[in-house]
């Protein structure tokens, strides 16, 4: 993982620091933030959130009958060889235009995943649990479908020292 600091100034001329942590797969930046969970939660949830915005729209189902959520079907493969698919939900409000009157096509390239929900079916949590139980490598490959055709491939290993260092640096009091 890499960390980047950008300095901007607010309307009063005061310095504002924006620190971003990310990794890169196939020239695509994936931003990472941490949720200070893990040891106190029995090591059953993946403690990171991953966000990116792709140049092409993703194959979301944003049917208004979906009770406030958009959804996308992800396929994944874990280091253990386990292959499956998973319906990932996204809040429909995050797809809305500024007036909240319709879907904004510019927002359909956004992708966000965390271990905070659907603990038993979420591929990040399943991967995390496998790592804890078997001390395996922990690599995961998630296929994120494009609207046009094909997939983006998010292949990474979240069990490197840089991830642990990032967690420990941000969750000292947890």
Question: What ranges do the domains of the chain cover?
Answer: 2-170
pTM value surpassing 0.85: no
Q: What are the C-alpha distances in Å from 153 to residues 4, 76, 125?
A: 24, 9, 18
Contact 58, 147 (CB under 8 A): yes
The tally of CA atoms less than 13 A away on the side-chain side of residue 75 is 10
Find the mean pLDDT for residues 58-70.
72
Which tens digits make up the pLDDT trace of 36-60?
Answer: 865 555 556 788 899 999 999 899 8
Instruction: Give the model's confidence band at 174: pLDDT under 50 very low, under 70 low, under 90 confident, else very high.
Output: low
Q: What is the dihedral of CA 126, 127, 133, 136, to 10 degrees?
A: 160
Lowest mean pLDDT, pick from 8-12, 20-24, 68-72: 68-72
Q: Hey, what are 148's tokens?
A: 């046009």
Non-local CB neighbours of 9 within 8 Å, separated by 6+ positions: 15, 16
**pLDDT at residue 129, rounded to an integer:** 84
Which tens digits make up the pLDDT trace of 147-159?
Answer: 888 999 999 988 8
Which tens digits make up the pLDDT trace of 83-140?
Answer: 999 988 877 777 787 887 777 777 788 888 888 766 678 888 888 888 877 776 678 9
Does residue 65 carry a pLDDT above 90? no
Q: Hey, what are 45's tokens?
A: 């949830």
Contact 89, 69 (CB under 8 A): yes
């Amino acid at each position: 993982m890499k960390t980047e600091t950008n300095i901007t100034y607010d309307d009063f001329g005061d310095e504002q620091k924006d620190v971003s942590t990310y990794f890169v797969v196939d020239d695509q930046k994936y931003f990472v933030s941490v949720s200070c969970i893990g040891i106190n939660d029995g090591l059953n949830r993946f403690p990171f959130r991953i966000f990116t915005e792709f140049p092409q729209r993703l194959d979301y189902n944003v049917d208004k009958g979906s009770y406030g959520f958009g959804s996308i079907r992800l396929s994944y493969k874990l280091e253990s060889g386990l292959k499956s698919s998973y319906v990932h939900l996204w809040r429909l409000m995050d797809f809305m235009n500024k007036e909240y009157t319709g879907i904004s096509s510019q927002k359909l390239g956004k992708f966000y995943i965390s271990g905070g929900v659907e603990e038993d079916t979420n591929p990040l949590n399943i991967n995390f649990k496998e790592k804890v139980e078997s001390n395996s490598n922990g690599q995961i490959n998630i296929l994120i479908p494009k609207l046009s055709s094909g997939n983006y491939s998010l292949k990474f290993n979240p069990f490197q020292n840089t991830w642990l260092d990032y967690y420990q640096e941000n969750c000292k009091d947890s």
